[in-house]
Structure 1
Amino acid sequence: ASSLNNLGYAYHSLGRYSEAIEYYQQSLTIQREIGDRRGEAFSLNGLGYAYNALGRYSEAIEYHQQSLTIQREIGDRRGEASSLNNLGYAYHSLGRYSEAIEYYQQSLTIQREIGDRRGEAVSLLALGKLYQKTGRIREGFAASQQATLIYQELDLPLNAYPYPNWMKQIVKFAQRSRFHLILCFILGVFAFPFALVWFILLILYRLIRNLFSHR
């Protein structure tokens, strides 16, 4: 069952989601036969990931919900937090932001209780994005800032940060030498006015949309 799960993960990483689902499903069948509840929850989460990647969000939610039920039954708090995060991500993908926020907040509470700092940062980043999307700009900024501080505190390598690859590539470029750092600074000075205008327009758009949606 473990090997089948690993194959599912490998095919998922290749973007071959149908094959990933097939392996996760085979693993799930075995885990149910042998009564491995933790493994069953793991396979259900894998199926949820794969269906989410295919845009089949309702099915993804169903599998993540089943996983969450098992995690709660066996008392796996870390697994429970992970399933709640997965549900948050699926509802976010559906555009149901209020429900997504609710699940991420539940996950965040558990992560703080069990001292999972990295998981806490992941949930805070997700909440930061959702708060900004729903016009809660100040809360979004605060959540993102908290997440950044946790990552700095953990002193993780750059690749461990859940930031876009283009951003990581810029940082790596700047770290090569003093010349590369100066070049990035100069380009940043030229790019900043355009980025600032775009950011202000984005905030105004969200504030206006939020204002009219409540009328």
Structure 2
Amino acid sequence: MKKWDSVYLNLAKSCQQREQWDRAIEYAEKNAQLGKETGDLKLILQSYIIIGLSHDKLGKYDQAISYYKQAISIMDEIEDDFKKKDIYHVVGMLYEKKGQIEEAQHYYEKGKMYLR
């Protein structure tokens, strides 16, 4: 990734800090597209996490879950387990917010597998 390639990522993070969730999604989607064009899975991963969090903050739990699950798939593909427990925990919390306790518990259990 070239230095200027991270501009969209930085803009997305900046929007999140200002709680401008829709704009954060917009910039993160552009960043994900850049990652797809360059084959940079880590760039896509970072984007999906930002998009997931932003949808969560907007109360769009199904969309948030979808992006977090895509992030988990990328983590599997690049064998990056570093934040996987955190993502599983967040997905569990989202299912809990939706009242789907069994599904929440399933994701909490999956996250426990990555405790160090």
User: Normalised by the size of structure 1, how large is the TM-score?
Assistant: 0.51
Instruction: Give the whole-Å Cα distance in 1 for the aligned partners of 2:89 and 2:2.
Output: 27
Q: Partner of 2:4: helix, strand, or coil?
A: helix
Count of residue pairs the alignment pairs up:
116
Instruction: Give the whole-Å Cα distance in 2 for the aligned partners of 1:133 and 1:150.
Output: 23
Instruction: Name 2:15's counterpart in structure 1.
Output: 51
Instruction: Name 1:144's counterpart in structure 2.
Output: 108
How far 1:47 moved relative to its partner? 1.4
From the CA coordinates, give the structure whose radius of gyration is larger. Answer: 1
Instruction: Give the whole-Å Cα distance in 2 for the aligned partners of 1:40 and 1:138.
Output: 43
Q: Partner of 1:127: helix, strand, or coil?
A: helix
Residue segments in structure 2 that go unaligned for 5+ positions in a row: none
Query: Deviations 1:43-76 (Å, cap 9, x if unpaired)?
Result: 3112111211212111111111111000111111
Instruction: Name 1:156's counterpart in structure 2.
Output: none
Instruction: Name 1:70's counterpart in structure 2.
Output: 34
Which amino acid is 2:41 matched to?
Answer: R
Q: Which structure exhibits the higher relative contact order, with contacts defined as CA atoms closer than 8 Å and separated by 6 or more residues?
A: 2
Instruction: Name 2:60's counterpart in structure 1.
Output: 96
Q: 1:71 to 1:38 in 2, by over 3 A?
A: farther
Q: 1:104 to 1:41 in 2, by over 3 A?
A: farther
Instruction: Give the whole-Å Cα distance in 2 for the aligned partners of 1:119 and 1:42.
Output: 20
Aligned CA RMSD, in angstroms, stands at 1.5
Instruction: Name 2:47's counterpart in structure 1.
Output: 83
More helix per residue: 1
CA contact (8 A) 1:61 1:87 kept: yes
How far 1:39 moved relative to its partner? 2.9
Q: 1:142 to 1:72 in 2, by over 3 A?
A: same
CA contact (8 A) 1:41 1:66 kept: no
CA contact (8 A) 1:118 1:151 kept: no
How far 1:119 moved relative to its partner? 3.1
Instruction: Give the whole-Å Cα distance in 1 for the aligned partners of 2:2 and 2:29.
Output: 14
Instruction: Give the whole-Å Cα distance in 2 for the aligned partners of 1:131 and 1:38.
Output: 37
Q: Does structure 1 residue 123 correspond to structure 2 residue 87? A: yes
Residue segments in structure 1 that go unaligned for 5+ positions in a row: 1-36, 153-215
1:106 pairs with one of 67, 70, 80: 70
Instruction: Give the whole-Å Cα distance in 2 for the aligned partners of 1:38 and 1:116.
Output: 21
Which amino acid is 2:53 matched to?
Answer: Y
CA contact (8 A) 1:48 1:59 kept: yes
Instruction: Give the whole-Å Cα distance in 2 for the aligned partners of 1:134 and 1:58.
Output: 21
